[in-house]
């Protein structure tokens, strides 16, 4: 009996085990090495001192705000130019809740995120019917309208002189030190990256990417296109607002200027560029983009002998990314990681040389400028 | 039991009558063909049934439910799946992701559950991948699981599109020229495959096809459409012997002024 069954239906070769969603793939030497390296880089600023920690915290906060772009633009394909309106909301809610009302900061973050929902619903319900440029213009217009109302009210923004945001003290951890604050922002951004990655790998995330690829095909597969765009916009708004709370705590002294005139400041555009360089379709993209740009900024800041070329170098680097790396630096890392996994020795050495060359150039510029 | 019923569907594009009083009825479990010359209104009928075009008058029922005013995604959730004459797959998704993306009808985990990776999310994801496995095995596409559409041949993409719409597990499957652009050998395999799909997944199939041997061998019943009107209905042999059907293909009289599709 058994042999007969075997004869009719030959045993199939064992299928490779499917990765279980949400679990890490089994670790091997390369991934462990990569994790250790990244971990060391992440905690590096703690040993480099307060200033490095401040830059680190700024990178982490920018990465939080950039994540909001990943959700709405990278995943869903709608270009929103109002992330800094949400950031402003978070900044001033933090100022009132933490400093005036003496709330713990996570409470302030939750309140800010909750307050962002009616705002994003208001904007979203009007603009999700629009696409592409029209959606972008609508968001910029709303940002401008909020600048003329919410951010012009003195009781909300503290007028010309702005408001104070205190950094909280959590038991023994005093977040007024830049090192402790850097650690807090790092943990927060990693948690948010983890959450956005989970979102991407879900029914909702796939609805978002389907909408980006082809709205009609998405609809015939059962995706409610309008609702998906709205969910993306609301989630994105909440993330940006939480980023704003941390932005407030980072700067400690906040004024309304950056949020009042979005047409002039174009912070939203700068953020989109940063996210595109890092990798718009990856949850890690904003983190990578922010790290690259702020580290580069600090290295070049003191390099006086380069000051006439910085803009040209930056432009060249940006055009290179646009032409050669459609997935941004995150896409490049993913690609190279696959190469290293395929041929660890050969490609591993090549990648190591590239990384070391880059670090060496940065170090050289740094040394020459001291 | 009647699964799809349309009554008096009418649609004009400017002066061209694209659908003229189209009433059809398809029973659960049937495989029904739709034939007619170019511009007869076949794809228009599919677009009206799937909600991409709105009829000027008439009524559409799916499983006894009036869906005349339902949006395309609501019809998909009600169990209507369709493919397109020009393949519409999600280009940046792998084959597996394309199949996962089509499963909204069966998944329910919320945004928050996904972000916090709650058990409901994990159950959804495991179940969705199981369905992908089953469909890939049925259509024999397992080896292309991690490929992107740009890496596959047009003929393979036809089958990937079929697999994607099958992972929606539709009650009614509308196929718009499933054999166009695929090799003769694959087209010959398509007939038995469609029957297997009907038998295994229990879904009703309504298809447009210009490959007559395929259409006539796989269909149990055929509707013939010309100038937006149903000109014949019945078993394949009867319909192909019908004078009006023959003249619609061979003897054209007022063909030139019809620009509709």
Percentage of residues in chain B with pLDDT exceeding 70? 95
Answer yes or no: are the C-beta atoms of A256 and A157 closer than 8 Å: yes
Using CA of residue A76, residue A82, residue A88, residue A89, what is the dihedral sign?
Answer: negative
Under DSSP, the state recorded for B181 is T
On whether both B162 and B186 belong to a single domain, the answer is no
On whether both B71 and B178 belong to a single domain, the answer is yes
Alpha carbons A9 and B138: distance in angstroms, whole number = 15
On whether both B29 and B109 belong to a single domain, the answer is no
On whether both B198 and B235 belong to a single domain, the answer is yes
In a domain, B84, yes or no: no
Name the residue in chain A with its Cα closest to that of B105: A222
Residue A5 has pLDDT above 80, yes or no: no
Alpha carbons B139 and B193: distance in angstroms, whole number = 8
pTM for the predicted model, two decimal places: 0.88
Residue at which a domain ends, from B167, B200, B221: B167
What's the pLDDT score for residue A21?
56
In a domain, B65, yes or no: yes
Alpha carbons A324 and A336: distance in angstroms, whole number = 14
Answer yes or no: are the C-beta atoms of A273 and A136 closer than 8 Å: no
Number of domains in chain B: 2
Alpha carbons A95 and A87: distance in angstroms, whole number = 12
Q: For an interface test with B, which of A14, A24, A220, A232 has the most B Cβ atoms less than 10 Å from its Cβ? A: A220
On whether both B6 and B51 belong to a single domain, the answer is yes
On whether both B151 and B114 belong to a single domain, the answer is yes
In a domain, B261, yes or no: yes
On whether both B128 and B51 belong to a single domain, the answer is no
Query: Does the distance separating the beta carbons of A216 and B52 come in below 8 Å?
Result: yes
In a domain, B104, yes or no: yes
Under DSSP, the state recorded for A56 is H
Please calculate the CA angle B182-B184-B189 and round it to the nearest 5 degrees.
90
| CATH classification at residue B208 | 3.40.50.300
Residue listed under structure tokens 């697999």: B163
What's the pLDDT score for residue B49?
96
Q: Which of A8-22, A33-47, A310-324 holds the top average pLDDT?
A: A310-324
Q: For an interface test with B, which of A16, A194, A203, A236 has the most B Cβ atoms less than 10 Å from its Cβ? A: A203
Name the residue in chain B with its Cα closest to that of A234: B111
In a domain, B44, yes or no: yes
- Count of Cβ atoms closer than 10 Å to residue B205 Cβ: 24
Residue A14 has pLDDT above 50, yes or no: no
- Look up residue A319 and give its two tokens: 């055009």
Q: Which string of b and e fits A246-282 if b means at least 16 CB within 10 Å?
A: bbbbbeeebbbebbbebeebebbeebbbbbbbbbbbb
Residue at which a domain ends, from B167, B198, B224: B167
Q: Give which of A185, A202, A209, A169 is closest to A76, Cα–Cα.
A: A209
What's the pLDDT score for residue A297?
82
Residue B251 has pLDDT above 70, yes or no: no
Instruction: Please give the residue range of the domain that contains residue B138.
Output: 89-167
Q: Residues of chain B whose C-beta is under 8 A from some C-beta in A?
A: 50, 52, 71-73, 76-77, 81-82, 84, 88-93, 97, 100-105, 107-111, 113-117, 121-122, 124-126, 128-129, 133, 164-165, 168
- Look up residue A351 and give its two tokens: 């990648």
On whether both B72 and B94 belong to a single domain, the answer is no
Q: Where are the domains of chain A?
A: 49-284, 302-370
Alpha carbons B155 and B180: distance in angstroms, whole number = 8
Residue A137 has pLDDT above 70, yes or no: yes
pLDDT in tens, A309-351: 878 888 888 888 889 888 899 999 888 888 888 888 888 898 8
Alpha carbons B156 and B142: distance in angstroms, whole number = 12
pLDDT in tens, A161-183: 889 888 887 777 777 888 889 98
Percentage of residues in chain A with pLDDT exceeding 70? 91
Residue A306 has pLDDT above 90, yes or no: no
Question: B82 in helix, strand or coil?
Answer: strand
Alpha carbons A65 and A205: distance in angstroms, whole number = 19
pLDDT in tens, B16-75: 899 999 999 999 999 999 999 888 999 999 999 999 999 999 999 999 999 999 999 999
On whether both B71 and B4 belong to a single domain, the answer is yes
What's the pLDDT score for residue A189?
94
With beta carbons under 8 A apart, name residues in chain A contacting B164: 221
With beta carbons under 8 A apart, name residues in chain A contacting B73: 218-220, 222-225
Residue A17 has pLDDT above 50, yes or no: no
Q: Residues of chain A whose C-beta is under 8 A from some C-beta in B?
A: 18, 20-22, 195-196, 198-199, 201-207, 209-210, 212-214, 216-225, 231, 235, 281
Residue at which a domain ends, from B167, B187, B216: B167
C-beta pairs of B60-69 under 8 Å, 24+ apart in sequence: B60/B4, B60/B5, B60/B6, B60/B7, B60/B9, B61/B2, B61/B4, B61/B5, B61/B6, B61/B7, B62/B3, B62/B4, B62/B171, B62/B172, B63/B3, B63/B171, B64/B2
Alpha carbons A45 and B198: distance in angstroms, whole number = 62
Q: Write the residue in B73, B103, B110 that is nearest to A219 by C-beta.
A: B73
Alpha carbons A310 and A304: distance in angstroms, whole number = 10
Mean pLDDT of A83-87: 93
In a domain, B12, yes or no: yes
Using CA of residue B171, residue B177, residue B180, residue B186, what is the dihedral sign?
Answer: positive
Please calculate the CA angle B181-B187-B188 and round it to the nearest 5 degrees.
165
Q: Are strands A173-174 and B16-27 parallel, antiparallel or unpaired?
A: unpaired
């Amino acid at each position: 009996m058994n042999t007969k069954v075997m004869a009719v239906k030959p045993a199939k070769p064992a299928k490779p085990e499917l990765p279980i969603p949400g679990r890490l793939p089994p670790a091997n030497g390369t991934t462990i090495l990569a994790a250790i390296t990244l971990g060391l880089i992440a905690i590096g600023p703690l040993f480099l001192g307060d200033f490095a920690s401040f830059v680190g915290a700024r990178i982490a906060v920018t990465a939080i705000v950039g994540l909001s772009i990943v959700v709405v633009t990278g995943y869903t394909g709608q270009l929103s130019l109002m992330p800094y309106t949400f950031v402003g909301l978070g900044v001033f809610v933090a100022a009132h809740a933490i400093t005036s009302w003496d709330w713990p900061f996570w409470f302030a973050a939750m309140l800010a995120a909750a307050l962002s929902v009616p705002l994003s619903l208001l904007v979203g319900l009007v603009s999700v019917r629009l696409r592409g440029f029209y959606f972008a213009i609508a968001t910029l217009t709303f940002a401008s309208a909020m600048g003329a109302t919410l951010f012009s009210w003195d009781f909300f923004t503290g007028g010309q002189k702005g408001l104070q945001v205190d950094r909280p003290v959590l038991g023994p951890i005093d977040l007024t030190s830049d090192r402790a604050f850097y650690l807090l922002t790092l943990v927060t951004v990693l948690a948010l990256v983890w959450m956005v990655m989970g979102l991407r790998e879900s029914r909702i995330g796939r609805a978002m990417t389907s909408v980006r690829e082809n709205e009609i095909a998405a609809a015939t597969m059962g995706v409610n296109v309008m609702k998906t765009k709205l969910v993306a916009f609301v989630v994105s708004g909440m993330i940006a607002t939480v980023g704003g709370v941390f932005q407030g705590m980072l700067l400690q002294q906040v004024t309304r200027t950056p949020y009042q005139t979005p047409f002039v400041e174009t912070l939203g555009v700068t953020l989109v560029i940063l996210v595109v360089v890092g990798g718009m379709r990856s949850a890690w993209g904003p983190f990578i983009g922010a790290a690259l740009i702020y580290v580069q900024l600090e290295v070049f800041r003191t390099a006086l002998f380069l000051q006439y070329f910085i803009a040209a170098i930056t432009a060249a680097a940006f055009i290179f990314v646009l032409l050669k790396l459609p997935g941004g630096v995150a896409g490049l890392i993913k690609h190279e990681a696959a190469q290293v996994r395929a041929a660890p020795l050969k490609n591993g050495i090549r990648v190591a040389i590239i990384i070391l060359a880059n670090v060496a150039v940065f170090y050289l510029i740094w040394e020459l400028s001291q | 039991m009647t699964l799809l019923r349309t009554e008096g569907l009418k649609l004009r594009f400017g002066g061209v009558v694209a659908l003229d009083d189209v009433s059809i009825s398809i029973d659960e479990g049937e495989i029904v063909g739709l034939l007619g010359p170019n511009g007869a209104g076949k794809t228009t009928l599919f677009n009206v049934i799937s909600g991409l075009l709105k009829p000027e008058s008439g009524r559409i029922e799916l499983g006894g439910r009036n869906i005349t005013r339902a949006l395309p995604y609501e019809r998909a959730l009600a169990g209507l799946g369709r493919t397109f004459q020009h393949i519409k797959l999600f280009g940046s998704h792998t084959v597996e992701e394309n199949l996962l993306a089509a499963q909204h009808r069966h998944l329910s985990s919320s945004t928050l559950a996904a972000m916090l990776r709650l058990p409901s999310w994990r159950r959804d994801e495991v179940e969705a991948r199981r369905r992908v496995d089953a469909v890939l095995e049925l259509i024999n596409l397992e080896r292309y699981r991690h490929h992107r559409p740009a890496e596959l041949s047009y003929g393979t993409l036809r089958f990937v599109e079929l697999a994607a719409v099958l992972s929606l597990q539709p009650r009614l499957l509308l196929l718009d020229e499933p054999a166009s652009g695929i090799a003769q050998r694959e087209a010959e395999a398509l007939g038995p495959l469609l029957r297997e799909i009907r038998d295994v997944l229990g879904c009703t199939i309504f298809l447009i096809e210009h490959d007559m041997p395929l259409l006539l061998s796989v269909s149990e019943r055929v509707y013939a459409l010309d100038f937006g009107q149903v000109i014949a209905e019945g078993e394949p042999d009867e319909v192909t012997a019908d004078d009006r059907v023959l003249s619609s293909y061979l003897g054209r009289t007022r063909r030139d002024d019809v620009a509709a599709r």
